[in-house]
Amino acid sequence: MGLKAGIVGLPNVGKSTLFNAVSNSAKAQASNYRFCTIEPNVGLVDVPDERITKLEELVKPNRTVPTQIEIVDIAGLVRGASKGEGLGNKFLANIREVDAIVHVIRCFEDENVLRDEGAINPVSDKEIIDTELQLKDLESVDKKYQRSEKLAKTGDAKVKAEFEVLKRCKAHLEQGKSIRSLDLSKEDKAAIADLFLLTEKPVLYVANVDEPSMHTGNKYSQALQAAVADEDAKVIVMNNSIEAQIAEMENADDRELFMGEYHMEEPALNKLIRSTYSLLQLQTYFTAGVQEVRAWTIHEGWKAPQAASVIHTDFEKGFIKAEVIAYTDFVTLGSEAACREAGKLRIEGKEYIVKDGDVMHFRFNV
């Protein structure tokens, strides 16, 4: 599944430093000047999951393939981006292509790091980007609203329903609110799907703090958390520079020693990546055999044939059944053969809703 999360924020808040830390396939330039990132950097990120490591230990396959998310480092936005200021149009177009937003916000003081917006104010920084995205969405909604208003007078029920959704979206945006906070049904969302609204995308906030505040946060990160309390959004507190240093260490013992000095059990990046995965309402199932142990990404609530389609579309078309072992049973008993013998391998049909961690094999005929 080609799923993308875009790292966004004002200039010089630590976006590219975070990208360098989080990406295992690309390195973004991180420099202390505006618009350092012009073309978006893209990297594939392994989703940390101790379950695939455990399956690898038990099965001893020829290779192991974790699940991944594509991370995009997008140019820094400035006030007026919705009207084309800075790299506004390019920035907004890049955001439109991602599935979720990782919003990095500066929560540290450092006179050596340039800042255009005056004193450190994470709430104001958040609002600048929110406003620009809302203004761009309002522009998109307004155009369709005007067309729909005329067509709605014809009496067509579908067009009229669409117009009502647009009316609600327009009013919500005009109040300075993002579409994701508007209670839209599945049908409502379908009516505006062609607009690819920026403020409909789920958001995860990263409070980039100084070293002393890595574990406890500070007044800036606390202000940010209070500001997003009604958004049902998660705030990850971390020091991007420390995370980048950890990511650059190739030796596992060196990483452990370094993290020990900062009293870290694991990189904060792991929590960030898992949170992004969860933000997109994704889950994992596994295939486990001698040739390969592999994690597969699906959406929560998918049925067995849909889950099979991420391996190959033929698996969904010719789906017959799925052989399913719960992850806990597989680990407890130690092998597929032992699970089969103990009656822990189940045969499931087309209506089975896949559970996170299921170990599966599909039977199909095309």
Which carries the bigger pLDDT value, residue 72 or residue 83? 72
Q: Is 14 within any annotated ligand binding site?
A: yes
Q: Which of 311, 313, 315 is nearest to 298 (CA)?
A: 311
CATH superfamily entry for domain 301-364: Beta-grasp domain (3.10.20.30)
pLDDT of residue 90: 59
Question: Looking at the predicted structure, is the pLDDT value of residue 20 above 90?
Answer: no
Q: What is the mean pLDDT of residues 118-135?
A: 89
pLDDT of residue 29: 38
Highest mean pLDDT of the ranges 39-43, 127-131, 170-174: 170-174
Q: How far apart are CA 16 and CA 7, in angstroms?
A: 8
pLDDT score, position 114: 63
pLDDT surpasses 50 at 34: no
Nearest to 289 by CA among 328, 251, 337: 337
5 vs 295, more confident: 295
Report the percentage of the chain scoring pLDDT > 90: 53
pLDDT digits (tens, 9 = 90+) for 321-366: 999 999 999 999 999 999 999 999 999 999 999 999 999 999 998 7
Q: 158 among the known binding-site residues?
A: no
Mean pLDDT of 83-91: 52
User: What's phi and psi for 212, nearest 5 deg?
Assistant: -60, -20
Residue 31: pLDDT band with limits 50, 70, 90 = very low
Percent of all residues in the chain with a pLDDT value above 70, rounded to a whole number: 89
Nearest to 297, CA basis, from 313, 312, 286: 286
At 200-244, the pLDDT tens digits run: 999 999 999 999 999 999 999 999 999 998 787 889 999 999 998
Distance linking the first and last C-alpha atoms of the chain: 22
pLDDT of residue 38: 37
Show the CA angle centred on residue 202, arms to residues 197 and 206, nearest 5°.
Answer: 125
- Per residue in 49-59, pLDDT tens? 999 999 999 99
Residues 6 or more apart whose Cβ sits within 8 Å of residue 38: 75, 87, 90
Top CATH class, 129-199: mainly alpha
Statement: residue 170 has pLDDT above 60: yes
Q: What is the pLDDT of residue 88?
A: 45
Give the residue with greater pLDDT, 117 vs 319.
319
Give the pLDDT of residue 69: 84
22 vs 324, more confident: 324
* Residues with Cβ within 8 Å of residue 127, at least 6 apart in sequence: none
Whole-angstrom distance, CA of residue 333 vs CA of residue 324: 14
235 sits in which H/E element: strand 235-238
Residue 87: band (very low, low, confident or very high) from pLDDT cuts 50, 70, 90: very low
Residue 12 in marked binding region:
yes
pLDDT of residue 81: 47
What is the reported pLDDT for 105? 94
Rounded Cα–Cα distance for residues 256 and 103 (Å): 28
* 16 annotated binding-site participant: yes
Instruction: Domain 4-50+64-119+200-278: give its CATH superfamily.
Output: P-loop containing nucleotide triphosphate hydrolases (3.40.50.300)
For the chain, the average pLDDT equals 86
Per-residue confidence band for 86, with pLDDT thresholds at 50, 70 and 90:
very low
Lowest mean pLDDT among 262-271, 294-303, 335-344: 262-271
The residue ranges of every structural domain in the chain are: 4-50+64-119+200-278, 129-199, 301-364
Residue 135 parent element (H or E): helix 122-152
